[in-house]
Amino acid sequence: MNRILTAIILSLFIVTGYITYLVHERQSELQKLTRYTDSWSVSQIVSEYMRLEARLSAMGMGVEGSDRDEVRLRLEIMMSQIALLQQGDLGKFIGKDAQRKATVARLVRILNQLDRQLDTMTTAQLKPLLREMSTLDGPMTSIASTSLAQDINIVNLTHDKIQNLYYIYSAISILLITLCITLGLLMLRQNNTLRRAHVRMKLLANDLQTSKEKLQVQNRRLQYDAYHDSLTGMPNRLSFWQRLQEIVNQVRPYNGSAVVMLFDLDNFKDVNDTQGHDAGDKLLQDLASRLSFFRKTSETLYRLGGDEFALVSHDLSEEMALERANIIREKISQPYQIYDSLIHIGACIGIVISDGESRTDYLYKCADLALYEAKKEGSGKVQIFRPDMLERLQENKSFEDDLLQALDKGEFRVYYQPIADTINGEIYGYEALVRWFHPLRGSVSPSEFIPVAEKIGLINPLGEWVLRTACREAASWSSPLKVSVNVSPIQLINSSLTDTVISILKSTGLDPLRLDLEITESDVFNENTRSLEILSQLRELGVQISIDDFGTGYSSLSRLSYFPFDKIKIDRSFVINIPGQKDDLDIVRLIISMGKSLHMRIVAEGVETEEQLKSLQKLGCDLVQGYLIGKPGPLNSSGNN
C-alpha cells in the first residue's frame, strides 16, 4: 500500500510538475498574444498621417477651418506616435526590411522639416512638400498591410498552439481528477484563464478587421483620386487613355470606329491674367458642371490638364461627330458669371475618327493636329482630321529639318540690291538680302523660310551670319558704300544684339558709319521699350537705323519724334501705283514731308518704272530702290553687281 501510495504521490509530483510546465507554456503563448497589436498601431499612424496630409493640403488651398493650428495639432499627434515605429517589436519589424526602414526615415525627415517650417511656410513651399508627402502614401500603406498580415499569421499560430496545449492539459486533468481534487480545481481555474484569453483574442481580431476596412476605404479613395481631376471632379488624363484603349478594343472585332475629340478653351489665359487664377479655377468648375449632362450618356468628358479637354466615343459618322462638337462648343461659349464679372470664352475642337486605326497614341496625335488646324482658323472653329493634315505636318517638319541644317551646309547666300541717289543717280549703297538655295527644293523664298526660322529659333544665328557676311564683304569693297541689313523682331529683343554688332564690326573692320540696320515699323512701335534702348545703344556706335516698310504699321508723328531714326523706307505697296493712283501719291508725299520735318532721309522701295522715279524726284525723295535700279544679286570685290 505504501508502495502504491508512494507511486501515486510520485506520479502526482511528476504529473504536477508536467502540469506546471504546461501552465507555463500556456502563459507564455498568452503573453505573446497581448503584444501583437503592432498592426493596429501602424494603421493608426498611417491614418493620422493621411489626416495630416489632408489638413496640410486643405491649408494650402485656403479651405475654411484649415489653419496652421489644426495642422500643428495633427503634426504633434504624429510626432508623438512616430517613436512607436523605432522601438520595441515594431521597431524590430521595421528594421528587418531596408525599404520599410528607408520609408520611416523619410517620414521622420518630412515631419521634422514640416515641424521647422510650418509657422513660416508659404503656399509655394507647401506644394513640393505635399508632393513629397504623397509619395509616402503607398509605402506607408504597404507597411500597415505587411504588419497586419504578419500579426494575423502569428495570432493564428499562437491560437493553434494554445488549442493543442488545452487538449493535452484536459486529458491529463481527466486522468488525475480521481487522484486529487486540488488538481481538478486547478484545471477549472486554467479553463477560466483560457476563456478569458479567447475573449481577448476575439477583441483583437475585431480591431484588426476594423483597421483592415479603414485601409480598404482609403485605398478606394486613392484609386478614385488617381483617375479623377481634383479641381473639376472630371475623369483625368489617365482615365482618358484607359477608356480610349477600351473603346479601341471594343470596336476592333466588328471594324467599328473610335472617336476622339480634343477641345481647347479660347482666351482662357486672358481670364487667368486679368481675373486671377481663382476666377480661372471657378470657370473650369462651372464648365465641368455645365457639361455634366454627358454623364447620362455612354460618352465621357475628360480634363487632360490646363484648359485642354477631351471626349471619347465610338461609331459616330462625321455629321454626328460635328453635331456633338457643336453642342459642346455652344455650351462652352455661353457667358459665365464669375464673381462680379461676366466672362465669355469659346473653344476650338479637333476630331479624329479612327477608321480601323488601333494605336491610341496615333489617334491622339491626329486629334491634336486637327485641333491645331482649328486654332489656326480662329476662335470657335471645329476641324475633322484629314490625312493631308499629317502630310502637311510631315512636310513642315521636313522643311524645318532642312532649314536647321542649311546654315551648317552653307546653303545660304547674301545678295545685294542697290540703293541709288535720286539727284545724281549714283549708287548710295546696297541692301543685304539672304537667299536659300536647297539642293532639292531649289531657291526658297525668304517669305517662306524667315517665319519658320523665327519659329524654330534659327533666326538669331542666321541673322548674325547675314550681318557678319555683309559687313565682311562690304569692308572689302573698293568704294565706301553703305550696307543695309534687316534685323528681325526676335533679334531686336535679344539683349546680346549690341555686343554682337560690336564684335562683328571689330572683327570685319567695317566703319560703323557705313552700316545701316533696318527695323520693320511694327517691330519698333510695339510698346517694347527694351527694343528702343537697344537701338539707342547701336546708334551711339555710329550705326544708322532705318524704319522699313513704313506706312504699313501704326506709327505716329509723336512716336517718330521719340526716337531720331536716320531713314524712313516707304513700303513698295504705296510706290507701285504712283503717279496714277492719287491716294497713294498723297500718302507718299505726306511721308516724305513728315520725314524731312524730322530731318530723316527718305528711301522709296519697289521702284520699277521711270515714271515712278520721276514722281519721287519731284516729291523730294532722297533715295530709291527697286528693279529699275537693279535686282538683288552677288557683288564683286569692287562693290558692283
DSSP string, 200-257: HHHHHHHHHHHHHHHHHHHHHHHHHHHTB-TTT--B-HHHHHHHHHHHHHHHGGGT--
Rg of the chain (C-alpha set): 42
**Residue 335 backbone class (left: φ over 0; alpha: ψ -120 to 50; beta: rest):** beta
410: which DSSP letter?
A: T
Distance CA 40, CA 145 (A): 10
Show the domains of the chain with their CATH numbers.
38-225 (no CATH), 237-385 (3.30.70.270), 411-625 (3.20.20.450)
**pLDDT (0 to 100) of residue 451:** 92
Average pLDDT for 155-179: 73
**pLDDT (0 to 100) of residue 114:** 80
Q: Cis peptide before 579, with omega less than 30 degrees from 0?
A: yes
526: which DSSP letter?
A: S
Q: Does residue 70 or residue 636 have the better pLDDT?
A: 70
pLDDT tens-digit readout, 469-522 = 999 999 999 899 999 999 988 888 888 899 999 999 999 999 999 999 998 866
Distance CA 619, CA 622 (A): 9
Average pLDDT for 292-321: 84
**pLDDT (0 to 100) of residue 389:** 85
Tell me how far CA of residue 469 lies from CA of 274, 439, 501, 619, in angstroms.
46, 22, 12, 35
564 has a pLDDT exceeding 80: no
CA neighbor of 544 nearest in space, from 559, 565, 560: 565
pTM, 2 dp: 0.56
34 has a pLDDT exceeding 90: no
**pLDDT (0 to 100) of residue 431:** 96
Three-state secondary structure of 148-193 = HHHHHHHHHHHHHHHHHHHHHHHHHHHHHCCCCHHHHHHHHHHHHH
